[in-house]
Amino acid sequence: MKFAERLNAHLTPEWRTQYIDYDELKEHLYKYTQVLETLPFFSEEETKAFLDECDEEFFNLCESALRKIEVFFSEKIAEANRKFTTLVDELDNYIESTHHKSISWITGSKVSLSRRLTESFGREGDKCRVSVRENGSTNTPIWNKISKIQSEENSELRRRQSRSKQSENPKYDAQRLDRRKKTFRKLHDLKLAFSEFYLSLVLLQNYQSLNFTGFRKILKKHDKLLRRNTGLLWRQQVVECAHFNTSRDVDDLITEVENIFTEKLEQGDRQKAMKRLRVPPLSEKYNPRGLFLFGLFFGVFLAQFIVILLTCLRLQLISLLLAYVCTSS
């Protein structure tokens, strides 16, 4: 497959105008070669001067294309960093809220115990604690009552734990079930948001690769057609040093998303996380001709099947009618 076809097949449609215009640059190269072939014999100095003019025009076009790519890539990287920060904050808030809910009822039990002790004994409880510290004895009526309250609180704690297990039955606690559904939806939305963000990073990574390959291909063609090495030098001095090529921000973000998704959203199951994040190969494209032939043959097969089915039903109906006529006569 020629690179121009590959570029059109693999680019992101929404970003079409932001890629290297490979066809336009190639047309300029062919225009230069046609001029060389049609002009009368040039001296070596005249040929060099003409090729220098061609290079100046061609590399100005390449510079313009590179500037466009650099600006777009920088904007997308900044946008990706902002999106990543927002997603991480939302995930941290979700984890914090679910953790707070899981321990709130235990904290409530402790507060309840303290409140009951205070309400039941007041200053007598304070005197009891002073007596225990001074004498080291807990065999007092007040202390026995405190132990009884603690025992009741422990029983209440066990009952709450039992109810939390029973609450898996939706009929037992409709409100708690509704909260669990909202929590599940929030978790599902976070996973979906991270998956979509991961896809956008893969597309941006593909954007980097396609544009660098485009410059490499067109500059190689430049040197081949014009029989110079200025294309190679321009690639080494300009393209290979460009931010869109040297930046590893996209790779780092992809790694961060994979690690966060694995540790915080799939409980350390990396295989499950990567299955959820997996992006279909960008090179996979439907073959329109193959799809058309499949539809055509399937339609013919379906029509023949229906005809055969109706014929069988018709023959069966005729045989039933003949049998009925014979029996009635």
Q: What is the pLDDT of residues 181-211, one digit of tens each?
A: 555 568 889 999 999 999 999 999 999 999 9
Are the C-beta atoms of 294 and 301 separated by less than 8 Å?
no
Which comes out higher in pLDDT, residue 172 or 5? Answer: 5
* Residue 178 clears pLDDT 60, i.e. is over it: no
pLDDT value of position 132: 46
- Rounded CA-CA distance 189/194 in Å is 9
Residue 127's alpha-carbon distances to 20, 132, 133, 134, 143, in angstroms, are 85, 9, 10, 10, 11
- Rounded CA-CA distance 118/110 in Å is 13
- Rounded CA-CA distance 118/126 in Å is 9
* Residue 35 clears pLDDT 70, i.e. is over it: yes
* Predicted confidence band of residue 41 (pLDDT cuts 50, 70, 90): low
Please give the mean pLDDT across all residues of the chain: 79
pLDDT value of position 220: 97
With a threshold of 0.75, does the pTM exceed it? no
pLDDT value of position 30: 95
Q: What is the pLDDT of residues 82-141, one digit of tens each?
A: 999 999 999 999 888 876 655 554 455 444 545 554 555 454 545 545 454 455 555 555
- SS3 call for 136: coil
